[in-house]
């Protein structure tokens, strides 16, 4: 059976961009008769605020999106909350370390910031890490270890990589795509790339559909799957929604929060209708229940154009649907 998931980071209220990704991932599974899993990615505790996980759950349910396994409903692959799965990440670290796939990195923030001439890493991160600590002598490492605890980096394989995105087609990446990345920070926090791979594999996820901001994370994740001898899921990336100012939607913007819209009296069907329209699933932004979209859903019909949520559209959505 196919298994898909939505894996939000509870660092803010659910906005309509997150809601759209959730809707498409949910439709992909529901239209294929697959299972849908909700997982809270609260591994970066300083960024995750208490109560937000519950709020995200409430917003998704209100929109008509449901799941077969998740933090609130349980399931055989639980717990479905990353902060309760750290043991598993540590086991993977120990294994990767013993196989020589990780190395300690002692670079300071200032040293990292000075890597201005390096080729670009992930769009979310700036310059790629040039592997400074990978090439340090044992002596240098010992000197640094005496004064600082290291982060652990995964050494990316030194060869180009490609994969077939289920929606965007074949994606090519140059050798070491994005540079060697941190799997465990010096303060003990496990990296997103590691946690997401361990969890998707453990939860037997077959289909990952997510926002295209994570497209450049995929070669990292594929390299981890390979290093750990785990089967990788199929990946599909969808374009992001942009705000009227052309910027990516931000979680703190109340106007585009699902909860803010609900408080303003907007109906869930109105939001789903617009999300479906922006995604190329409806010809007009007319109200629709999420479940009504299942029979007609074809992943190939999802529009691959970036969507700009205009002021006028927001006015119609918030003002016109009460």
Q: Which is nearer to ligand GLU, 101 or 210 (CB)?
A: 210
Does the protein bind ligand GLU through residue 3 (CB under 6 A)? no
d(CA 320, CA 269): 12
214 touches ligand GLU by CB under 6 A: yes
Helices 192-202, 86-98: crossing angle, 10 deg rounding: 110
Per-residue binding string, ligand GLU, 9-28, x by CB under 6 A, is x-------------------
5 is in an annotated binding site: yes
Site for ligand GLU in 270-309 (CB under 6 A): none
How many of the other CB atoms lie within 10 Å of CB of 146?
Answer: 7
Considering only the stretches 3-11, 244-252, 270-278, 282-290, report the one whose residues sit in contact with ligand GLU under the rule CB under 6 A.
3-11
Decide if 289 is catalytic.
Answer: no
Q: Given the DSSP bridges, would you call strands 151-154 and 102-105 parallel, antiparallel or unpaired?
A: antiparallel
**7 is a contact residue toward ligand GLU (CB under 6 A):** yes
Question: Is 318 an interacting residue with respect to ligand GLU (CB under 6 A)?
Answer: no
User: Quick check: 198 binds ligand GLU (CB under 6 A)?
Assistant: no
Q: Does 191 bind ligand GLU (CB under 6 A)?
A: no
CA distance 252 to 15: 9
Report the alpha-carbon distance of residue 19 to residue 284 in Å, rounded. Answer: 19
Consult the annotation and say whether 7 binds a ligand: yes
Pairing of strands 151-154, 161-165: unpaired
Q: Is 219 in the site for ligand GLU (CB under 6 A)?
A: no
Beta bridge partners of 181: 154
Of residues 210, 220, 237, 251, which one binds ligand GLU by CB under 6 A? 210
8 is in an annotated binding site: yes
DSSP code string of 166-202: TTTEEEEE-TTTTB-EEEE-TTSPBPHHHHHHHHHHH
Residues 6 or more apart whose CB falls under 8 angstroms from that of 219 comprise: 156, 161, 163, 173, 177, 178
Q: Which of 45, 148, 184, 251 is catalytic?
A: 251
203 near ligand GLU (CB under 6 A): no
Q: Which residues pair with 207 in a beta bridge?
A: 4, 234
- Shortest Å distance, C-beta 283 to ligand GLU: 29
Residue 199 binds to ligand GLU (criterion: CB under 6 A): no
Binding span for ligand GLU by CB under 6 A among 1-9, 48-56, 92-100, 134-142: 1-9
Distance CA 23, CA 17 (A): 10
Question: What mask of x and - would describe binding to ligand GLU in positions 37 to 76, judged by CB under 6 A?
Answer: ----x-----------------------------------
Task: Tell me the C-alpha distance between 231 and 217, whole Å.
Answer: 17
Judge whether 133 is annotated as a binding position: yes
Binding span for ligand GLU by CB under 6 A among 6-14, 182-190, 235-243, 306-314: 6-14
| CA neighbor of 13 nearest in space, from 249, 261, 257, 256 | 257
Any binding-site annotation on 185? Answer: no
- Rounded to an integer, what distance in angstroms lies between the CA atom of residue 67 and that of residue 313? 29
Active site positions, annotated? 251
- Per CB under 6 A, residues contacting ligand GLU are 7-9, 41, 196, 210, 214
Binding site, by residue number, is: 5-9, 41, 105, 107, 129, 133, 192, 210, 251
């Amino acid at each position: 059976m196919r298994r898909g998931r939505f894996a939000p980071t509870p660092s803010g209220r659910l906005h309509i961009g997150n809601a759209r990704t959730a809707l498409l991932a949910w439709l992909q599974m529901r239209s294929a008769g697959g299972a849908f899993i909700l997982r809270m990615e609260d591994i970066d505790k300083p960024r995750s605020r208490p109560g937000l996980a519950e709020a995200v759950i409430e917003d998704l349910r209100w929109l008509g999106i449901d799941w077969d396994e998740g933090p609130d409903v349980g399931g055989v692959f639980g717990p479905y909350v990353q902060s309760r799965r750290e043991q598993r990440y540590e086991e993977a670290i120990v294994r990767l370390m013993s196989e020589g796939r990780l190395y300690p990195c002692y670079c300071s923030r200032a040293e990292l910031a000075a890597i201005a001439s390096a080729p670009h890493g992930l769009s979310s991160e700036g310059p790629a890490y040039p592997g400074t600590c990978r090439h340090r002598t044992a002596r240098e490492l010992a000197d640094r270890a005496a004064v600082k605890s290291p982060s652990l980096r995964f050494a990316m394989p030194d060869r180009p990589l490609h994969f077939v995105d289920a929606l965007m087609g074949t994606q090519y990446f140059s050798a070491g795509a994005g540079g060697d990345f941190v799997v465990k920070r010096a303060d003990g926090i496990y990296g997103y790339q590691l946690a997401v791979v361990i969890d998707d594999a453990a939860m037997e996820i077959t289909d990952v559909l997510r926002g295209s901001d994570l497209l450049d994370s995929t070669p990292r994740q594929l390299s981890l799957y390979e290093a750990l001898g785990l089967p990788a899921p199929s990946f599909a990336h969808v374009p992001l929604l942009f705000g009227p100012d052309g910027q990516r939607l931000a979680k703190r913007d109340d106007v585009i929060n699902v909860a803010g819209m609900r408080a303003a009296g907007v109906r869930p069907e109105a939001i789903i209708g617009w999300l479906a329209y922006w995604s190329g699933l409806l010809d007009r932004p007319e109200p629709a229940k999420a479940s009504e979209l299942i029979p007609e859903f074809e992943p190939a019909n999802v529009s691959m154009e970036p969507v700009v949520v205009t002021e006028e559209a927001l006015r119609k959505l918030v003002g016109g649907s009460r």
